[in-house]
Amino acid sequence: MVAALEREVWPFVKNWPVTSKQHEGRSFRFFEQDHVVVVCGGIGPEAARRAAEAVIYLYRPALLISAGFAGGLDSSLSVGHAIKPRHVIDAGDGSQADLGFGEGVLVSFATVADASQKMRLATAYGAQAVDMEAAAVARAADARGVEFLALKVISDTSGAGLPPLARFIGSDGRFHGQKFLAHVALRPWLWGSVVRLARDSAIAARALCGTLQVHTRAAPAEEKGELQTPAEQAQRD
């Protein structure tokens, strides 16, 4: 499982053992529990690609999941709404992954989408939600013949005003929280959006981790008769 930030999946992995491993000169933290491994690679497509390639190389997974937060493009989607898209589109080049099951469209955009950009993405792609990483993880999975699934939860609605997050994301995908807070502290007009973002992110994290509990069991799938991969799920359905 590949997520962007630990805070997105922390309720799910907080009690799991953590292992640090190297891949192509970079260090990654892997949360491991039974048959599930979670890596938080950072924000954005490049960070997601590196994390996906690392977990594929080091763990040889049967299924790769892009998990995390997404912005709503459909006004009917509220904070905490879970989505399992059928299609994942890369807004950068228009490429599309058909997952074979699920509902709707998730579009991956290279930066944090504000309300006006969300409107354009919804119109251009007929998408219900936007993230930054799923298309890159899907591409890495496809290149290595690994089954792929996207599980996302809405953390900001279609019309939500966001504070200026993009400028505090480093080239390595890390979010520079201290610099962000220092910036916000001097700009009282941003305080309301930051408080709302923190509240909604906490709601989204709880909802995401509940969704992940459903899709990842404590025992291996074959022992419980539960079919986990998209191909197996299609056969069962």
Q: CB neighbours of 50 closer than 8 A, spacing ≥ 6?
A: 23, 24, 26, 41, 42
| 173 contacts 43 by C-beta, under 8 angstroms | yes
**What is the pTM assigned to this prediction?**
0.86
Is 90 in a helix, a strand, or coil? Answer: strand
CA atoms within 13 A on the CB side of 182: 5
- The single-letter code of the amino acid at 198 is A
Q: What percentage of the chain's residues is helix, strand, coil (to nearest 5)?
A: 40, 25, 35
CATH homologous superfamily, domain 2-231: Nucleoside phosphorylase domain (3.40.50.1580)
First vs last C-alpha separation in the chain? 23
pLDDT by position in tens, the chain (length 237): 999 999 999 999 999 999 999 999 899 999 999 899 999 999 999 999 999 999 999 999 999 999 999 999 999 999 999 999 999 999 999 999 999 989 999 999 999 998 899 999 999 999 999 999 999 999 999 999 999 999 999 999 998 878 888 888 888 888 888 899 999 999 999 999 899 999 999 999 999 999 998 887 633 443 333 334 344 444 444
Tell me how far apart the alpha carbons of residues 28 and 37 are, in angstroms, rounded to a whole number: 12
Helix axes 134-143, 45-59, angle to 10 degrees: 40
Tell me how far apart the alpha carbons of residues 160 and 147 are, in angstroms, rounded to a whole number: 33
Q: Which residue has the tokens 């192509």?
A: 24
Other C-beta atoms closer than 10 Å to the C-beta of 99 total 19
